[in-house]
A and B are shown apart, each in its own frame.
Chain A
Amino acid sequence: MVDTVYRSESRRVLATLIRLLGDFDLAEEALHDAFTAALERWPRDGVPANPRTWLVSAGRFKAIDALRRRARFDASLGQIADQLDAAAGDTAPQEEEGVADDRLRLIFTCCHPALPPDAQVALTLREVCGLTTEEIAHAYLTTPPTVAQRIVRAKAKIRDARIPYQLPSVADLPDRLDTVLHVIYLVFNEGYSASSGATLVRHDLSGEAIRLGRLLVELLPEPEAAGLLALMLLHESRRAARTSPSGELVLLDDQDRTRWNQEQIAEGQALVERALASRRFGPYTLQAAIAAVHAEAASAAATDWPQIVGLYDVLLRADPSPVVELNRAAAVALRDGPAAGLALIEAILARGDLAEYHLAHSARADLCRRLGRIADARASYERALALTRQAPERRFLERRLAELGS
């Protein structure tokens, strides 16, 4: 019973406690103490009508008590305890709006641009998603002490440089939201396609990212947040079809579309439509729109490539990056034939862009192969192989190389 409440409420209670107590560590201790108290009292007295308010209240009192006890050794803590106590009058009753703002405050603070990017990710996973240090370390193929240190340093910076626990101002919101979306997408991508190692997909992180995305959409009426959630859902909808039972990579063209998750597709498409209708959308929404066009096609052959190229044209204006150019080139190849796509890819590589990007070389290789330029295809597959560390992708490239014959 307390367990259920913990799962559904602990993150919100933490977010509010951080605001009331002004310190992450103090708030985490207070959260722990509050749930300990709940474990003692609720079996006896019954679950309170508003568990969250009860927990926030209990947490706050426990924190003030703890500070007072420690004040015997450090007088300044007594002052802090007094301030917190006095602020009791200012603690507005936990209206839904106030609590919703606290969760947003927490997300925006964890993703503050003054924190290093890997710390933003670790802090968000720890404080907003409630993952343990071990879980984060496992997901990112690093050690718990490394993650712990990142988090400790981030909290220290928040405290020492005084990063405020606040929603960004209206003027700052677009940039700050970009950082939050970027963190969420990093987490999703890490889960979707492991950056190195034996298995291609790590579900847990993708699930966390989608949960985070949902939370953001719930709390903030911003089209790009909806766009990102749509993009993640549409990618995720293909999870079952993306790898063969033996863990081999299955390209979009060859995927069994009956294994695509239609519920996620429907949800993703609805979100895309909503976001596009707002006319204030950006790159995530456009990428999601492209994914939605794929999702609509009953088969690879039925894909509306002209629409996809059109969407890439818009995306390129919003996000003029070589990777977007590459993806557009691949779509052009499918609309206008391999030669057209290859010309675009070779132009990118000739500029010196994407030289170290394995997908640029594998895309070039594929188009060369279709045009019968076997030697060029072989060279590009070899270059791609040299640049990728992921086992399933390496096996895929090796197979393609073998298929070229000698």
Chain B
Amino acid sequence: MRYLCLIYDEEKKMAAMAKPESDAFMGEYFAFTEGIRKSGHFLAGEALQPVHTATTVRVRNGKLSTTDGPFAETKEQLGGFYLINAKDLNDAVQVAAKIPSARFGSVEVRPIMEYDQA
């Protein structure tokens, strides 16, 4: 079954990390990704550019409105994601718990709506 792991970090804190720390952090991400590729969990995963690069698009009454920034100002910001294959929620949670940002921020785990099932 597929799950999306949405990674939320406090961007300011992450940006304030000294270079050796942030290099080490990236190293952890690399190792984690390799690990879940080997275990067969990995389907996709990306880091996102920082939230100031976000643009929010809404269409109301046929009119397009484009605003600068994320859809909502939050304490933690969406920083990346992994799409994984997992046996059940316990399995998905085990994977999510190993995402490096889980120690500082939050990872939301959501099952994918599979439309091809009944």
Q: How far is the CA of A76 from the CA of B115 in the complex (A)?
A: 13
A162, B89: Cβ atoms under 8 Å?
Answer: yes
Chain B 77-111 interface mask (CB, 8 Å, partner A; 1/0): 00000000001111001000000000000000001
Q: Tell me the minimal C-beta distance from A293 to chain B in angstroms.
A: 40
Q: How far is the CA of A168 from the CA of B1 in the complex (A)?
A: 20
B-chain residues with CB within 8 Å of residue A74 when the two chains form the complex: 118
Please give me the residue from chain B that is nearest to A158 by CB atom. B89
B-chain residues with CB within 8 Å of residue A168 when the two chains form the complex: 90
> Which residues B34-80 have CB closer than 8 A to chain A?
none
Of B89, B117, B118, the residue contacting A163 (CB under 8 A) is B89
**Which has the most chain B C-beta neighbours within 10 Å: A74, A76, A114?**
A114
- Known A-B contacts A74-B118, A76-B118; the reply to A164 vs B111 at CB < 8 A is no
Please give me the residue from chain B that is nearest to A163 by CB atom. B89
Q: Is residue A1 within 8 Å, beta carbon to beta carbon, of the partner chain?
A: no
Q: How far is the CA of A122 from the CA of B110 in the complex (A)?
A: 23
A160, B111: Cβ atoms under 8 Å?
Answer: yes
B-chain residues with CB within 8 Å of residue A164 when the two chains form the complex: 87-90
Q: Is residue A161 within 8 Å, beta carbon to beta carbon, of the partner chain?
A: yes
B111, A161: Cβ atoms under 8 Å?
Answer: yes
Q: How far is the CA of A168 from the CA of B88 in the complex (A)?
A: 13
Q: Tell me the minimal C-beta distance from B3 to chain A in angstroms.
A: 8
Please give me the residue from chain B that is nearest to A77 by CB atom. B118
* Interface residue range, chain A: 10 to 19
B89, A114: Cβ atoms under 8 Å?
Answer: yes
Of A75, A77, A160, A163, the residue contacting B90 (CB under 8 A) is A163
Please give me the residue from chain A that is nearest to B118 by CB atom. A76
A161, B90: Cβ atoms under 8 Å?
Answer: no
A162, B88: Cβ atoms under 8 Å?
Answer: yes
B-chain residues with CB within 8 Å of residue A76 when the two chains form the complex: 117-118
Chain A 143-184 interface mask (CB, 8 Å, partner B; 1/0): 000000000000000001111101010001000000000000
Of B87, B89, B117, B118, the residue contacting A161 (CB under 8 A) is B89
Q: Tell me the minimal C-beta distance from B73 to chain A in angstroms.
A: 26
**Which has the most chain B C-beta neighbours within 10 Å: A76, A162, A168?**
A162
A162, B111: Cβ atoms under 8 Å?
Answer: yes
B-chain residues with CB within 8 Å of residue A160 when the two chains form the complex: 111
**Which has the most chain A C-beta neighbours within 10 Å: B88, B89, B111?**
B89
A-chain residues with CB within 8 Å of residue B117 when the two chains form the complex: 76
Q: How far is the CA of A164 from the CA of B1 in the complex (A)?
A: 12
B-chain residues with CB within 8 Å of residue A163 when the two chains form the complex: 88-90
Q: How far is the CA of A330 from the CA of B1 in the complex (A)?
A: 53
Q: How far is the CA of A114 from the CA of B90 in the complex (A)?
A: 9
**Which has the most chain B C-beta neighbours within 10 Å: A74, A114, A161, A172?**
A161
Q: How far is the CA of A166 from the CA of B94 in the complex (A)?
A: 15
Q: Tell me the minimal C-beta distance from A70 to chain B in angstroms.
A: 12
B-chain residues with CB within 8 Å of residue A172 when the two chains form the complex: 90
B-chain residues with CB within 8 Å of residue A77 when the two chains form the complex: 118
Q: How far is the CA of A323 from the CA of B93 in the complex (A)?
A: 32
Chain A 63-107 interface mask (CB, 8 Å, partner B; 1/0): 000000000001111000000000000000000000000000000
**Which has the most chain A C-beta neighbours within 10 Å: B1, B87, B90, B118?**
B90
Q: How far is the CA of A52 from the CA of B100 in the complex (A)?
A: 48
Q: Tell me the minimal C-beta distance from B17 to chain A in angstroms.
A: 29
Please give me the residue from chain B that is nearest to A168 by CB atom. B90
> Which residues A92-128 have CB closer than 8 A to chain B?
114
Please give me the residue from chain B that is nearest to A172 by CB atom. B90
Q: How far is the CA of A114 from the CA of B91 in the complex (A)?
A: 13
Of A75, A162, A166, the residue contacting B1 (CB under 8 A) is A162
Q: Tell me the minimal C-beta distance from A306 to chain B in angstroms.
A: 42
Q: Tell me the minimal C-beta distance from A51 to chain B in angstroms.
A: 32
Q: Tell me the minimal C-beta distance from A30 to chain B in angstroms.
A: 20
Q: Tell me the minimal C-beta distance from B88 to chain A in angstroms.
A: 4
Q: How far is the CA of A108 from the CA of B93 in the complex (A)?
A: 16
The 7 closest A-B pairs by CB, nearest first: A76-B118, A164-B88, A162-B88, A163-B89, A161-B89, A161-B111, A162-B89
Given contacts A76-B118, A162-B1, A163-B88, 11 further A-B contacts (CB under 8 A): A74-B118, A75-B118, A114-B89, A114-B93, A160-B111, A162-B88, A162-B89, A162-B111, A163-B89, A166-B90, A168-B90
Chain A positions within 8 Å of B, measured between CB atoms, are 74-77, 114, 160-164, 166, 168, 172
A-B contacts, 12 of them at CB < 8 A, read: A74-B118, A75-B118, A76-B117, A77-B118, A114-B93, A161-B89, A162-B88, A162-B89, A163-B89, A163-B90, A164-B87, A164-B90
